């Protein structure tokens, strides 16, 4: 075992979508920086989250479209078949390209990389002392500044121990992305974005999927009208939706698993399945970091408490991303990582985003930024201008045979200021940034209406929805 001591101006603990951008930006700003990562270079997002899930979502959508190619005159001699081994190999290749790129970027910006588990030991006049357990022993690091970016992990519920092995019955999103074969039946516990994204993937591959949701609706934070479009698609695909239903326990019967649920009226029911996908949210990775050793404050749910400068209550220690809660999104963490680097380097910066767009990669996609109707009214916007434009009236959507959904714009009725944009349909995640920039710049709905959009394109739906809010849409009857 070797023992060494190194000194840095900044140490970033965690190399996920918040940590590695923080380290890269610190390197660019000529701050002597080290990044410590215990498991996944690139974090959950690049390795077992955002990127691999979008890869299998793309594969599932392609598989489904091939099955309907005859609708547009492309005749395939036989039904498409799925090779899960090849799919997993392709998905892993996508992940490897990105994770190796992260290491290259860190090294190229002069950042020292240490693979190991970090723990804060104490803080003092000479800085923050950190020990790192590596494969070769223990290293000690003294840092003037520490950035905590350790992310989050799936929540488990009592009686549903996750084991992502090939024969396991109870899996989480990591396990669902690594299955070697398509199960005949799958129960998804949780009607949030991760569960629905992966549930739809397997439904397209031929799995009989059941979604068990404890509340009265799916995707509770998203616009209700948008969610309704996805609900219709789920039902059309044969996915069973169980609302106001709680998972209580399960048993392995050898040839199947049996889930016991509690229905809205309090009665119990059982559902047979092959796999149980647990997807009820995420919790922060705030344990085993030695936060209590240095006095970093946590809230009741275990999130690190940080201000809009990403400062914790301990001088020189910062935190960001899923670890501090809020919208647990990779792009939020990335922006926070860039901001914290600027702050450590002595620049004036703070996290002051007016809006953070969110995307659910179901089919069709849902993307949202700003306020929903209910939120706008709750914030005192008593008069609203609301414009909706259906994809079915868009030439581009018709020409690519993908017409589910619409664009919805919410604006203040008196000033015309854009308050929210909600899109459900093909490419929603790519279109929503126009809404985000409109809100950030304080645009009024006329700014969107009067901006010439290319034809034929899906983005015309934004222009037309803005016109509809003013009662001036060209390609639909104005209400």
Residue 479 resides in a domain: no
Give the pLDDT confidence of 233-266 residue by residue, as tens digits.
999 999 999 999 999 999 999 999 999 999 999 9
331 C-beta neighbours (distance < 10 Å), count: 16
pLDDT surpasses 70 at 4: no
Q: Do 274 and 127 have their domain in common?
A: no
Is 163 a member of any domain? no
Q: Is the same domain home to 129 and 45?
A: yes
Instruction: Note whether 443 and 304 are same-domain residues.
Output: no
Cα–Cα distance, 243 to 255 (Å, whole number): 27
> In the chain, how many domains are there?
3
Confidence of residue 479 (pLDDT cuts 50, 70, 90): confident
Q: Which of 251, 280, 309 is the last residue of a domain?
A: 280
Residue 5 has a pLDDT of 87
Residues 421-453 pLDDT 10s:
999 999 999 999 999 999 999 999 999 999 999
Judgement on whether residues 263 and 363 belong to the same structural domain of the protein: no
State residue 96's pLDDT score: 96
Q: What is the CATH number of the domain that holds 72?
A: 3.50.50.60
* Same domain assignment for residues 378 and 435: yes
Residues 48 and 145 placed together within one structural domain of the fold: yes
In the predicted model, what is the mean pLDDT of residues 206-210? 98
- Residue 162 within any structural domain of the chain: no
User: Are residue 249 and residue 322 in the same domain, yes or no?
Assistant: no
The answer to whether residues 210 and 187 touch, using CB atoms and an 8 Å cutoff, is yes
The arithmetic mean of pLDDT across residues 189-214, rounded, is 98
As a whole number, mean pLDDT of residues 94-100 equals 95
Domain range for 429 is 358-469
User: Which of 128, 347, 455, 475 is the catalytic position?
Assistant: 455
For residue 193, being part of any structural domain is answered with: yes
Mean pLDDT of 200-229: 97
Which of the four pLDDT bands, split at 50, 70 and 90, describes residue 22?
very high
Active site residue 475: no
Residue 474 within any structural domain of the chain? no
Which one of 240, 262, 280 terminates a domain?
A: 280
Is the pLDDT reported for residue 3 higher than 90?
Answer: no
- The answer to whether 310 touches 336, Cβ cutoff 8 Å, is yes
Contact 106, 20 (CB under 8 A): yes
CA distance 229 to 219: 12
Q: Is residue 395 part of a domain?
A: yes
Q: pLDDT grade, residue 2 (50/70/90)?
A: very low
| Torsion angle of the four alpha carbons 453, 454, 459, 461, in this order, in degrees rounded to the nearest 10 | 70
Distances 378 to 215, 225, 372, 373, 384 between C-alpha atoms, Å = 22, 18, 10, 9, 12
Q: What is the per-residue pLDDT across 330-385, written as a single tens digit (0 to 9) for each?
A: 999 999 999 999 999 999 999 999 999 999 999 999 999 999 999 999 999 999 99
CATH code of the domain covering residue 450: 3.30.390.30
The CA angle 322-104-102, to the nearest 5 degrees, is 20
Same domain for 107 and 254, yes or no, is no
Q: What percent of the chain has pLDDT over 90?
A: 97
- Give 75: exposed, middle or buried? Use CB within 10 Å, 0-12, 13-18, 19+: exposed
Q: Are residues 330 and 400 in the same domain?
A: no
Cα distance between residue 467 and residue 139, in whole Å: 62
Q: Is residue 465 one of the residues assigned to a domain?
A: yes
Does residue 225 lie within any of the structural domains? yes
Give the single-character DSSP code of 455. S
């Amino acid at each position: 075992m070797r023992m060494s001591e190194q000194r840095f101006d900044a140490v970033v603990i965690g190399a996920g979508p918040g940590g590695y951008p923080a380290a890269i930006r610190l390197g660019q700003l000529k701050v002597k920086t080290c990044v410590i990562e215990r498991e996944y270079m690139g974090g959950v997002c690049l390795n077992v989250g955002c990127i691999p899930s979008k890869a299998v979502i793309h594969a599932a959508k392609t598989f489904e479209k091939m099955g309907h190619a005859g609708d547009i005159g492309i005749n395939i001699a036989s039904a498409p078949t799925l090779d899960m081994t090849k799919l997993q190999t392709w998905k892993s290749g996508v992940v490897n390209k990105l994770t190796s790129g992260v290491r290259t970027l860190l090294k190229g910006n002069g950042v020292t990389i240490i693979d190991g588990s970090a723990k804060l030991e104490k803080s003092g006049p000479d800085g923050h002392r950190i020990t790192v357990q590596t494969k070769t022993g223990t290293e000690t690091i003294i840092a003037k500044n520490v950035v905590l970016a350790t992310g989050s992990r799936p929540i488990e519920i009592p009686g549903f121990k996750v084991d992502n092995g090939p024969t396991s019955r109870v899996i989480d999103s990591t396990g669902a992305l690594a299955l070697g074969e398509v199960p005949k039946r799958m129960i998804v516990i949780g009607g949030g974005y991760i569960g629905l994204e992966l549930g739809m993937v397997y439904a397209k591959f031929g799995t009989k999927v059941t979604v068990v949701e404890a509340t009265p609706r799916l995707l509770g934070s998203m616009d209700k009208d948008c969610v309704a479009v996805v609900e219709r698609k789920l039902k059309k695909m044969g996915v069973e939706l169980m609302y106001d239903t709680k998972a209580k326990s399960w048993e392995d019967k050898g040839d199947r698993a049996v889930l016991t649920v509690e229905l809205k009226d309090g009665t119990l029911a059982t559902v047979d399945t092959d796999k149980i996908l647990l997807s009820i949210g995420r919790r922060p990775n705030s344990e085993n970091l030695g936060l209590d050793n240095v006095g970093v404050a946590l809230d009741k749910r275990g999130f690190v408490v940080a201000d809009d400068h990403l400062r914790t209550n301990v001088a020189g220690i910062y935190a960001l991303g899923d670890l501090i809660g809020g919208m647990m999104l990779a792009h939020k963490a990335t922006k926070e990582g860039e901001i914290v680097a600027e702050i450590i380097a002595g620049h004036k910066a703070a996290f002051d985003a007016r809006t953070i767009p969110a995307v659910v990669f179901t089919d069709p996609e849902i993307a949202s930024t700003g306020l929903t109707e209910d939120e706008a009214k709750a914030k005192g916007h008593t008069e609203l201008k609301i414009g909706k434009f259906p994809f079915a009236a868009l030439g581009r959507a018709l020409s690519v045979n993908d017409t589910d959904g619409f664009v919805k714009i919410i604006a203040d009725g008196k000033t015309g200021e854009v308050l929210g944009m909600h899109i459900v349909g093909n490419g929603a995640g790519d279109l929503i940034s126009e809404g985000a920039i409109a809100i950030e710049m304080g645009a009024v709905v006329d700014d969107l209406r009067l901006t010439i959009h290319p034809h034929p394109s899906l983005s015309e739906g934004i222009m037309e929805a803005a016109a509809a809010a003013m009662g001036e849409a060209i390609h639909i009857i104005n209400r």
